Structure 1
Amino acid sequence: MSDDGGEEEQQETKKFFVDRAKTGRAACKKCKQKLDSGELRLAKSGFNPFGPGPMKMWHHVACLFEAFGKQRATTAKIETPDDIDGWSDLDEDDQKEILTYLPKCKDWKPTAKTSSKDKEDKSSKGKAKTEKGKTPKDKEKDKSDKSKNDSTSVSKDGHKDDTFREFRRLCAALSETDSYTGKTALVKDFFTKGTDGSNFKGDLNLWCRLLLPGAVKRVYNLQSKQLIKLFSKIFRTDQDEMLEDLEQGDVAETVRVFFEKSKHLQPAKKSNLTIQDIDKFLEELSGMTKEDEQTHHFKQMAKRCTSNDLKMIVRLVKHDLRINAGPKHILEAIHPDAYQAFQTSRDIDSVLQKAVGKGGDTKSSKTSLKISASVMTPVLPMLAEACKSVEQAMKKCPNGMYSEIKYDGERVQVHKRGNEFKYFSRSLKAVMPHKVKKFEEYIPLAFPHAKDLILDSEVLLVDVNTGKPLPFGSLGKHKQNEYKDANVCLFVFDCIYYNGEALLDKPMQERRRILEQNMNEVPNRIMFSEMEEIHSPKDLANMITKVLKLGLEGLVLKDLMSIYEPGKRHWLKVKKDYLFGGAMADSADLVVLGAWFGTGQKGGMMSVFLMGCFDPNRKVWCTVTKVHTGHDDKTLERLQDELDMVKISKEASKVPDWLICTKTMIPDFVARDPKAMPVWEITGAEFTKHEVHTAAGISIRFPRVTKIRDDKTWETATSLPELKELFKTSKENQDFTLPSYGDDDTDNKQSDAVSSTSSSPRKQSPKKNAKVTAADTGAKKLNTQKKKTDLFDDDSDDDTDIEEECTAKIMKTDEASGSGSPYKISCTPDTTPKRKTQSDNDDDICDDYNCDQSTDIECSPIKRRKPDQQFNSNYIIKKPLLDIFTGVKLVLPNCDPQDRRLLERFFVAYGGEVLKTSQMQESTHVIHLEDSAVNEFISDWPRSARHVMARWLWDSIKLQELQNASKYTVTLPARSF
């Protein structure tokens, strides 16, 4: 007690104090500048007029010692560190900084920071050691060394293989290598040979964790702008200047540049860091939440870093090393099965433990690393690829399939072990508690006999009165308050672990049986996902039509015998924007109103664009969506110069009066004049509602740029009233009729599985026609445009007149040219065109057309089929258009933009390729929309190209057969050969 009292008395007599600024509100008494939060500061005590005890007058360290030089010799000043209260609490680097101002104390050795426990031991026991003469710190070090020796690596303390410089070197080599195999080979070579070329002596586990910061995440809660704020204080540089440089898109590069420019803190000349140092730094940083703590932590590390060291540390904090290499590249370099094992367990430590032997050598590639699912460790979810047709689904699921409702909610993986629960999102992050907290009450009721399990499921809000799911995005905490008669419900669709048994390798049918046998539904809380077992194309088509008419997102299709493969896209998903070649997707012609800077490779460029529409009632522009996909690199570069933008840097005060924009949608740039900006066709999965947009809340989900509408201006683009009509039409009057599938024999089922894309354009959603009306005419009604664009309704009887007119034009052209026509077309309905030889060059001509010279019949216009294969109604009716049109290269000369758009969309859906007019020499077919077009450019087209009237294409699509194709097929004579 007496010792403690003496120490307290000694502390009270000290006139100087040291610590780090807490809030950044105090100012230096000498220079009057603010003492930034986390900055080292010194104080001298003075009279306190407000109460007992001295007042601390804080200074910058340099400012206080400068004041000592101007004061009288008799005035107290700092002579030794013993004069400073708080000296023992300083880090070694801070002590060194103050000692530079005390030349008389040059031999004074800095002391390590003393913890409260050490102080207690010192006051009660002095510097007592353990039985073996070691301090507690020594004992802890021995424990750490032992754990290192027990690890799978053979890391030697201080070995070059574990230097951070080598880590940077490998990352640089990976970033410069483009090929997948090349990246894996680089990593494998280093992990095999190390830096000395003999063998790797580093910590393999730690190397993998640092090379995969995105796969094995620590949470730092430090975004780019927050990092800029911290480093602007550390470097004492202008924060606005750093933010301006950040517009280039790489915060790590910005930190490096300003680190080199800083006069307050200079980079180290040589890197002496190890990956162990970096791992310790990151682990400590992940536990810090206060800004001053983070600032101090970064500053201490920066003192030991070169500029490139600090740049790479920031990239580790951002979970992006910019090496374009993921778990597959890194883990397959260790063992061929390591990546697949990691996909299953997401536990890199257990994977490396199995992949690496006790001596540190990787196991033979023949040794299997089979790792099964384990409770409380997330499993990478199995995914689905886009399915564009019924035929594709039947081919991918030959054993039959489960057709499940694709709920528009959030994917959740549920883990239960006893009374402990964990919930993981699709990205394997913890799910927000307010979305899943009530499930702990109901899962035991739904699974009364389950001790431990893993469920794959979807969570969404449902209406308790109707049982129907509520719209996408309604799960937000503040949103749930808007739906009083709604519950959060878990729709379970798979079970991948149950009572000690992993079910990954069991077929889907068996997993579903186990789920149904062990789960009891809790209404509106824990429910089975709705599904049907499908074996025929007809049943699948009916199911697709049913769910889309109900307004659901779509279907997920799973082969009955498929196993659960983590991370693989072996399921299928059917959505309305996948069908009919994307013709059913919602779209609108919107004007570019603003833009944001991109990140990564697109840093410093406008690559994210704000799209909107004009409100004629208020005479203002409203925002609809932001879009960042759809432009190739060349187009994006060209747009940087073409778009006339004004930089406002997301400042609300600079948003022009003509733009109605919420705070979250304020861009980096706005258009100087919206009426002079281009119009782009924006296509997405569906129209949706989102409060952040001002066009009556209407937005587009999953938007992409599908076309730059050079033919349109702001006046003919989609306006707000037209957008509202499109939204209404999209939600209320959708026609999802798919092709009808007959009940044929079993032998013919596969051939009858016609592509769902073969439905006629008339079967597309009416919203598409409404959209064209709104964009092109503005004032006309929706049904007016439908009549115009319905190219499939042309069932008139004037086919013969068109046929005779086409033939007459061909013969007239032939006579005018004076050349002998190699073909004379005889157009008779339901018959094949006749060919009569009129040239000495018939052999060459027939070779070009791949004809059978022994017959007098011309080849089929599609795929140049020989006579015995063409126009056989029994064959053609059964043949899907996807097979007929695959490989056809089409040119559309002189087409009306509206008609061309329809033709392009549907022809590509059938497997063809639409070429530009400049590519005509590569074409196999030329489609003419007007009869007069057949006279143009005859000599320019390749003689192998078939010239076809558009009506033949429409009827072929409509009828799913080619018996009438000859009526509309025209082969033009070439002028010379």
Structure 2
Amino acid sequence: MLFKTLCEYLEKLSLTSKRLEITSILAKLFKEASSCEIYETVFLSLGTLNPQYKAIKFNIADKMMVRILSKAYTIPERDILKKYKELGDLGKTAELFSESFVKQETEVLEVYQKLKRIAMEEGAGSQERKVHLMSMLLKSLDRIGAKYACKIILGTMRLGFSEITVIEALSWMEKDDKTLKKQIEEKYRIYPNIGFIAKEFKENGLFGIKDIHIETGVPILSARCQRVDTAKDIIKRHKTSAIEYKYDGTRVQAHLDRNKLSPAPLVKTFTRNLEETTNMFPDIVSAILDSVKAQSAILDCEAIGVDPKTGEFVPFQITIKRKRKHNVKKTAKEIPLKLIVFDILFYNRKSQIHLPFVERRKILESIIKESDKIIIAPEIVVDNTNKFMEVFNTAIEKGLEGIVAKDLTASYTVGSRGYAWIKFKREEKGTLEDTLEPVVLGYYRGAGQRAKFGIGAFLVGVLDEKEDNFKTIAKIGTGLTDEQWVRLKRRCDKIKLLEKPKNYIVPKELFCDIWCEPNILTSIRADDITISPIHTAGYALRFPRLVDFRDDISTKDATTVQEFKNLYKLWKK
């Protein structure tokens, strides 16, 4: 397939916000792509080169792209910059200056390989090499090709769909309906490389993906907790629950394989949003090698910072400072981590996710040698509400978030929220004690005292997983410190957009002055949830206030519309 053909499909996608139409266009694109190029086609359509756990960053910002366009089209940088300020989009700027007579015969595979080479450039002189390579690529592309090559590199595709829509499109490609979505998504949840799955599916349909299994080094989509209203509800569902304390740390999925030597045994760690963090956590790596008595294992854990002087757990805001690429050894000494292991998903080359929790727990207890760096999550088994509340109150007294109740008979719910795990954080105080994690969609310019900040309120939304879009739940203008207002504006301005993305479902009366990409997640608390005739989620937060920013999770982990509705029902009981 020619890159021009791919870009023509991308252009069609940019002109619609209708989910079914997007799915139909993608299905036609995937049907036209051959099996030897569908991997690259899928990822380029998503505006990237690889799955999240193998992400490659281009590290090319707007300023460098202006240099690239100047070099490619022999036009002064000031002219490029002037037109960019006018259009507000460097992809459109490239499209404008690109030579109209270029007849693009460059194929998708060739463009993909060139983009990958650009991204892999590093070390001394890498910026100049990137400028040269990208300018040469642009010279070979026609206008629409130049437009989308720039957008891919700058991360500004914003076509309004994710891997879930790709999965539906693959089903439509094969069957002209979405009947195969469930089977494809099941494989994606245990092996989240949508390009690889598309390739195998393109070649042999469902038969092609049947042998895709859990593999060390490839993260699994984490199970997530459901909410209920009372301890009585939990006991009613579980009969008998294993209760674990809910720690305010960072989720870690740890992979070990002593059979994969390079030259040391393979040890990798991943976040809940599939980002690899192995190099950030050398203390976790050593703890796993020393304390996990298995040839191979995948563990679900929580890492929490420890005060080296007192031995006490530190707040989340301190723990998260360990997620850094520089001064790793120094920070590890200042904020050592304790790994609390609470589940096992893979053991000695076999998946464990279908086993009941009680059996998985027995395996954990048999292979983890506890130390000051790694422990198994303490659990208390209860079968009545009085004992449950006793454990919950103890957790609160310890300054913890709450508890997680686990069904002893349940399998591991990969990549979804289910009642196998139920978090319980709310106390009956007349306020909504549990927090939500909505996404910042944009902000409103400040007035009065906040004029000096340039921001006076911001709009948040929740994820509609079925529609693959965001719907509003609150406009927030209180509860932030001066420092937080400044910080929020700075972060929004770095990812601001010229217009509202088509997958933001916002009523006109709530349109923001400045829109931004859905990359800023928050932790929000409110007094109540009410039915709303204005907010597009159908419900709204009453007296919402910011607790903190959630830099440890991704957009995919945002509170969903369905979860928000469920929370409303629980709150109104």
Q: TM-score range by the shorter chain?
A: 0.5 to 0.7
Secondary structure of 1:626's aligned partner: helix
Partner of 2:572: 910
Partner of 2:10: 171
User: Given the alignment of the two structures, is residue 594 of structure 1 paired with residue 450 of structure 2, yes or no?
Assistant: no
1:567 is aligned, of 406, 415, 419, to 415
1:299 is aligned, of 135, 150, 158, to 135
Contact 1:165/1:271 (8 A) holds in 2: yes
Partner of 1:203: 37
The verdict on how the C-alpha distance between 1:245 and 1:401 changes in structure 2, with shifts beyond 3 A counting, is: farther
Partner of 1:362: 205
Partners of 1:502 and 1:400 lie apart in 2 by 25
The verdict on how the C-alpha distance between 1:451 and 1:612 changes in structure 2, with shifts beyond 3 A counting, is: closer
The verdict on how the C-alpha distance between 1:223 and 1:472 changes in structure 2, with shifts beyond 3 A counting, is: farther
- What is the CA deviation profile of residues 460-487 of structure 1, one whole-angstrom value per residue up to 9, with x for unaligned ones? 2123565431111324257996897863
Q: 1:375 Cα shift?
A: 1.2
User: Given the alignment of the two structures, is residue 272 of structure 1 paired with residue 116 of structure 2, yes or no?
Assistant: no
Secondary structure of 1:438's aligned partner: helix
Partners of 1:483 and 1:190 lie apart in 2 by 47
**Percent identity among equivalent residues?**
19
Partner of 2:190: 344
Partner of 1:504: 353
Matching residue's letter, 2:271: S
Partner of 1:634: 508
The verdict on how the C-alpha distance between 1:416 and 1:594 changes in structure 2, with shifts beyond 3 A counting, is: same
The correspondence of residues 260-339 of structure 1 with structure 2, limited to 5 A, is: 260=96, 262=97, 266-289=99-122, 290-319=126-155, 321-335=157-171, 336=180, 337-339=183-185
1:416 is aligned, of 256, 259, 265, to 256
User: Given the alignment of the two structures, is residue 219 of structure 1 paired with residue 52 of structure 2, yes or no?
Assistant: no
Partners of 1:487 and 1:327 lie apart in 2 by 36
Q: 1:354 Cα shift?
A: 4.2
Contact 1:576/1:685 (8 A) holds in 2: no
The correspondence of residues 70-89 of structure 1 with structure 2, limited to 5 A, is: none
Aligned Cα RMSD in Å? 4.4
Partner of 1:446: 291
The verdict on how the C-alpha distance between 1:637 and 1:345 changes in structure 2, with shifts beyond 3 A counting, is: closer
Matching residue's letter, 1:526: I
Matching residue's letter, 1:377: V
The verdict on how the C-alpha distance between 1:441 and 1:910 changes in structure 2, with shifts beyond 3 A counting, is: closer
The verdict on how the C-alpha distance between 1:313 and 1:399 changes in structure 2, with shifts beyond 3 A counting, is: farther
Matching residue's letter, 2:432: G
- What is the CA deviation profile of residues 54-93 of structure 1, one whole-angstrom value per residue up to 9, with x for unaligned ones? xxxxxxxxxxxxxxxxxxxxxxxxxxxxxxxxxxxxxxxx
Bigger relative contact order, structure 1 or 2, given CA contacts below 8 A and separation 6+?
Answer: 2
TM-score, length basis structure 1: 0.42
Q: 1:431 Cα shift?
A: 0.7
- What is the CA deviation profile of residues 196-220 of structure 1, one whole-angstrom value per residue up to 9, with x for unaligned ones? xxxx687333322323445623322
Partners of 1:268 and 1:579 lie apart in 2 by 69
Partners of 1:420 and 1:259 lie apart in 2 by 45
Partners of 1:578 and 1:318 lie apart in 2 by 47
Matching residue's letter, 1:208: V
Partner of 1:187: 26
Partner of 1:544: 392
Secondary structure of 1:684's aligned partner: strand
Partner of 1:380: 221
Partner of 2:464: none
Contact 1:172/1:323 (8 A) holds in 2: no
Partner of 2:276: 430
1:495 is aligned, of 313, 319, 344, to 344
Q: 1:414 Cα shift?
A: 1.3
The correspondence of residues 885-964 of structure 1 with structure 2, limited to 5 A, is: 909-910=571-572
Q: Which runs of 5+ in 2 are unaligned?
A: 172-179, 259-264, 437-447, 461-468, 493-503, 515-521, 527-539, 549-564
Partners of 1:182 and 1:417 lie apart in 2 by 43
The verdict on how the C-alpha distance between 1:283 and 1:245 changes in structure 2, with shifts beyond 3 A counting, is: same
- What is the CA deviation profile of residues 535-569 of structure 1, one whole-angstrom value per residue up to 9, with x for unaligned ones? 33333333333323322233333322222233212
Partners of 1:907 and 1:279 lie apart in 2 by 48
Partner of 1:961: none
Tell which structure's C-alpha radius of gyration is larger: 1
Contact 2:94/2:150 (8 A) holds in 1: no
Partners of 2:202 and 2:570 lie apart in 1 by 50
Q: 1:402 Cα shift?
A: 2.7
Partner of 1:865: none
Matching residue's letter, 2:422: L
- What is the CA deviation profile of residues 689-722 of structure 1, one whole-angstrom value per residue up to 9, with x for unaligned ones? xxxxxxxxxxxxxxx985599xxxxxxxxxxxxx
Partners of 1:594 and 1:386 lie apart in 2 by 37
Q: Which has the higher strand share?
A: 2
Matching residue's letter, 1:557: A
Contact 1:581/1:906 (8 A) holds in 2: no
Q: 1:514 Cα shift?
A: 0.6
The verdict on how the C-alpha distance between 1:612 and 1:461 changes in structure 2, with shifts beyond 3 A counting, is: closer
Matching residue's letter, 1:453: A
Q: Which runs of 5+ in 1 are unaligned?
A: 1-161, 615-620, 641-681, 687-703, 710-722, 728-885, 887-904, 912-977
Contact 1:388/1:578 (8 A) holds in 2: no
Matching residue's letter, 1:407: Y
Matching residue's letter, 1:575: K
- What is the CA deviation profile of residues 753-772 of structure 1, one whole-angstrom value per residue up to 9, with x for unaligned ones? xxxxxxxxxxxxxxxxxxxx
